[in-house]
Structure formats: C-alpha cells, structure tokens
Amino acid sequence: MNPYRKQYRWSNVFAMIRNLKLAPKICADDFSHRLVVITGATSGIGNATAEKFAAQGADLLLINRDEKKTEQLCAQLRQQFRTNCDYIIADFSKQSDVRDAAGQLAALPRDIDVLIHNAGVYLTQKTLTQDGLEMVFQVNYLSTFILNYVLLEKFKAQNRGRILFVNSEAYRFAVWGLDFDDLLWQKRRYSGLKSYGESKLAQLLSMLVLQQAYQGSAVTVNAMHPGNVRTNSGQSNGWLYKIFKRLLVDPSALPVSVAAEALYYLGASAEVQGLSGKFFNLTTLEEPAPPALDRDAAQTLWQISLQLGGFDAK
C-alpha cells in the first residue's frame, strides 16, 4: 500500500498541470562580477544558463566532465560576453572527481553567489559507475549531495548565496517515495523513468535537510523544474528511445532559453530573496507532491548518503 495515499490531492496535480503552461518570470537585473558555479554547462540547459549569466556580467566557474568542450565553451563565453570563465573538470560518475571538485570550491578565496546543480542523465538501461553504483542515482543525486555536504561550512561562513537544483516534475514518477531497501537498483527490475524520478526525489529530500542546516543564515536552497526543453538529454540511450524522443517529446519541447531565463530569475532576482526549501515550476512556486515533503525519509536518505559518500555519519 502506498504510504502517501492519504496525502495525495488531485488539486496538487492540477496545479502542476496549470503551472506547466506558464512562462517564466524574467529578471533584467545586472549580475556583474558575481560568481556563478554551474555543473554540466557543456550542453542543453547548463549551456544556455551559462550564456545567460555571462550576458548579465557574472563570473563563471563551470564544472564539466569534458575538458575539450569546456575549454572551447569558456573561450567562446570570454570572447562573446567579455566575462571571466574558469572551470573544473569532474566526471559526476566518479566520487573521487566530485570530492576533488568540492574541495576546490570549498577552498575558493571568494564567495559563491549562485551554485546551480544542473548535470544530469536519463538512462533507459541500468548502468553501473566505476564506483559500482547505479549511474543515474550517482550522477543526478549523490554527486550533488557530496558537493553540498563539502560546501556546508563555506556557505555558512559566507552567510549568503543561492543553491539551485535543476530538478524535474519527473520526481512524481517515484509515487511511492524512495525504496530504501534498494536505492541502487540491485534487487528491482530497472525502470528508466523510476530511477530518474527517484534521483530527482532524492534531491528534493536532501533540500529539506539542507534548508534546515542553513536556517538562521542568508543561504537559500531551492529546486526547479526547467520545463520540457529541447536538449541532448537521453542521447546515450538506444535508437528506440531516440526515435520516441524525436517524434513525441521534442516537437512540443520549448527552446532551452526558457529554462535559462527561469534559472537566471531564481539565481538573481530580488523577488525570491530569502525564499528557501521551495520548489518552482520554472519560476512559479509549487507545492511538491507528498513524497517530497517527507522529513523522516529525508533524514534516512541523508544518513545513507553520508555512508555512500564515505563521510562519517552524523
């Protein structure tokens, strides 16, 4: 029996459907020389968001896995927008890379104004990482956990900054919540939609704990659905998925600039100053579905993530 069945409301689903049709609010404010860290900026939403922040004057620090693409991107951003662009190379399917990247961020001599957790994958086949974990869980969730955990003290010390998760309404595929007996898909038959949904739900649950950790400080942490936008997502899947995406998903997809505008608004606008622990459908505040509000599950996940990430349990 679904543990959340009594908490589900149709009104919550209808609100989400209404919100999906709304355009993002636009922020025209300047963001000169503020430091914005973006993961997965070599393609799609991350790429468009990097361009948007650069166009508004931000200094960029990109965390990507492909050095060649990253060098080209930084060169292009410097030339086009006269912006400062630096980078760290990290593959989010390798914990050692993510820890190194987190350490470098923690040691930065300046404040991070905005940290955007964007890198993500959708896989139709179960894939294991070099660390032996299920790929989608590790790339989409565990890596963001490690970055956030290592950066807790830095953000507390700077007492300001916005942390944003590029999440997805697909967290709703995890209708029953997280399966704590099999977070890593070792026992269950793999489902691409469910594993993606669970990774995004895990992000939302970790947001609850992070928000509490930052209570009393001016650091905020929020999540957003970037819309259904046209990107390279799912390109490593088989031909059947690619045909499905090209014929059925992409025609109704929005340009990626929609997601970038929303992320700029959430990162830069004074209108969201002080809001934390919230879910935005693009820029519209939305009440999450019940599994994403489960504080007990959030604590359980936090403890498991500490173990999986090789940190001492607290």
Q: Under the rule (CB under 6 A), what is the footprint of ligand NAP? A: 40, 42-46, 64-66, 91-93, 118-121, 139, 166, 168, 225-226, 228-229, 231-233
Task: Say if CB 190 and CB 126 are below 8 A apart.
Answer: yes
Closest by CA to 51, choosing from 80, 26, 28, 24, is 80
Query: Judged by CB, which is closer to ligand NAP: 24, or 44?
Result: 44
- Compute φ and ψ for 268, nearest 5 degrees: -120, -25
Query: Judged by CB, which is closer to ligand NAP: 183, or 256?
Result: 256
Query: Judged by CB, which is closer to ligand NAP: 32, or 232?
Result: 232
We find the least distance from the C-beta atom of residue 237 to ligand NAP, in angstroms, to be 11
Catalytic sites, residue numbers? 196
Query: Judged by CB, which is closer to ligand NAP: 45, or 164?
Result: 45
We find the least distance from the C-beta atom of residue 157 to ligand NAP, in angstroms, to be 27
We find the least distance from the C-beta atom of residue 92 to ligand NAP, in angstroms, to be 3
The H-or-E segment that residue 115 falls in is: strand 114-117
From the number of C-beta atoms within 10 Å of its C-beta (0-12, 13-18, 19+), residue 74 rates as buried
We find the least distance from the C-beta atom of residue 5 to ligand NAP, in angstroms, to be 26
